[in-house]
């Protein structure tokens, strides 16, 4: 179960980023091709953070679709359930995978009490960048260019 290894890496990154502040939630983008089972990831998170400073932290997963770009016609499209790496518009196999392999820590909610206030204080951006897909009405999916890329992804298990 590689989810345990991923959760260990994730917990270490969150601990480094937050120090001794109480963490309420950890937000992670997970690409379709990472083969992460959300239920297994939640179970692994609970197991890994038990009896640590992150024991009360929620793990929030956002699943991202795999996106192919056709180098011949320029079409961006979601990778279908058959996982064929070809362009649905023109049939070309000259495609590039631009999304779907991410495992990216995107944000952490921490509790920062101010004068006894125990409400959530701030959302601390993670030390990594993320890719965010945006859908269009035609069913294609394009990467939002203002959101960075996969460079900051945690290493795979």
DSSP label of 153: P
DSSP label of 23: E
**Across 13-27, 70-84, 130-144, least confident range:** 130-144
140 against 43, higher pLDDT: 43
79 against 157, higher pLDDT: 79
The ranges assigned to domains in the chain are 2-64+102-135
Q: What pLDDT does residue 131 have?
A: 29
- Distance CA(41)–CA(36), nearest Å, equals 7
Confidence bin at 114 (pLDDT 50/70/90): low
Side-by-side strand order, sheet with 58-64: 58-64, 22-31, 103-111, 120-125
- Distance CA(48)–CA(17), nearest Å, equals 17
Let me know if 106 is exposed, middle or buried by CB neighbors in 10 A (0-12, 13-18, 19+). Answer: buried
Q: pTM here?
A: 0.68
119 against 30, higher pLDDT: 30
CATH 3.30.2320.50 corresponds to the domain 2-64+102-135: yes
Q: What pLDDT does residue 1 have?
A: 67
29 and 104 Cβ atoms separated by less than 8 Å: yes
């Amino acid at each position: 179960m590689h989810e345990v290894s991923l959760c260990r890496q994730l917990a270490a990154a969150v601990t480094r980023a937050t120090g001794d502040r109480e963490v309420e939630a950890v937000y992670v983008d997970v690409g379709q091709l990472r083969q992460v089972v959300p239920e297994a990831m939640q179970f692994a998170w609970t197991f890994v953070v038990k009896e640590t400073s992150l024991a009360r932290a929620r793990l929030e997963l956002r699943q991202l679709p795999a996106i192919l770009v056709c180098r011949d016609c320029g079409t961006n499209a979601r990778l279908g359930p058959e996982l064929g790496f070809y362009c649905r518009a023109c049939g070309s196999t000259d495609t590039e995978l631009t999304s779907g392999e991410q495992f990216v820590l995107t944000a952490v909610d921490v509790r920062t009490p101010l004068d006894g206030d125990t409400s959530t204080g701030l959302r601390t951006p993670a030390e990594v960048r993320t890719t965010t897909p945006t859908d269009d009405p035609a069913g294609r999916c394009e990467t939002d260019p203002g959101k960075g890329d996969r460079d900051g992804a945690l290493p795979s298990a």
